């Protein structure tokens, strides 16, 4: 099925470092979501974005809805070991498409070295 492109696919960082990842699409979206998935569990919603240019924070996490509406960014500041996991973006097509389907990214696998 259709998927968004996330980058990087995986990253290893040292504890305390900042992390940046992004998600790009060939289509415009009117909603972007960011999720984190731990092993053996379902994805957990981190941040929801509804407006182009919007910048939203949740603790050490900050996400932005790209101006072009074709991309979104997630930053994690001062990473800690429990940040390890897979981060997924998800975007929703404009409402006139008639679908309520979210398209999910391929995921960024984050490993934090203590």
Per-position x/- string for 76-95, each x denoting binding to another protein as judged by CB under 8 A, each - no binding = ------------x-x-x--x
- 43 contacts another protein (rule: CB under 8 A): yes
CA distances from 2 to 26, 40, 79 (A): 11, 24, 31
Measure the CA angle with vertex 93, ends 50 and 52; round to 5°.
30
The yes or no reply on residue 111 touching another protein (CB under 8 A) is: no
Whether the CB-CB separation of 82 and 114 falls below 8 Å is answered with no
Task: Could you list the beta-strand ranges (E) of the chain.
Answer: 5-7, 10-14, 19-24, 31-37, 44-49, 55-58, 61-65, 71-76, 85-92, 102-104, 108-113
Nearest approach, Cβ of residue 48 and another protein (Å): 5
Q: 39 or 114, CB closer to another protein?
A: 39
18, 79 Cβ separation under 8 angstroms: yes
Q: Binding another protein by CB under 8 A: which of 21, 22, 25, 31?
A: 31
Total residues at interface with another protein (CB under 8 A): 27
**Least Cβ distance, residue 2 to another protein (angstroms):** 9
Name the residues that contact another protein, by CB under 8 A.
Answer: 1, 3, 30-31, 33, 35, 40-45, 48, 50, 88, 90, 92, 95, 99-107
């Amino acid at each position: 099925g259709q998927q968004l492109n996330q980058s990087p696919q995986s990253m290893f960082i040292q504890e305390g470092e900042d992390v940046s990842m992004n998600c790009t699409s060939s289509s415009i979206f009117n909603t972007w979501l960011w999720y984190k998935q731990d092993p053996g569990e379902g994805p957990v919603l981190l941040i929801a974005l509804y407006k182009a240019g919007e910048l939203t924070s949740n603790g050490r996490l900050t996400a932005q809805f790209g101006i072009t509406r074709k991309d979104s960014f997630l930053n994690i500041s001062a990473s800690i070991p429990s940040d390890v996991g897979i981060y997924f973006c998800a975007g929703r097509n404009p409402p006139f498409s008639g679908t309520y389907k979210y398209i999910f990214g391929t995921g960024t696998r984050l490993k934090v070295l203590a």
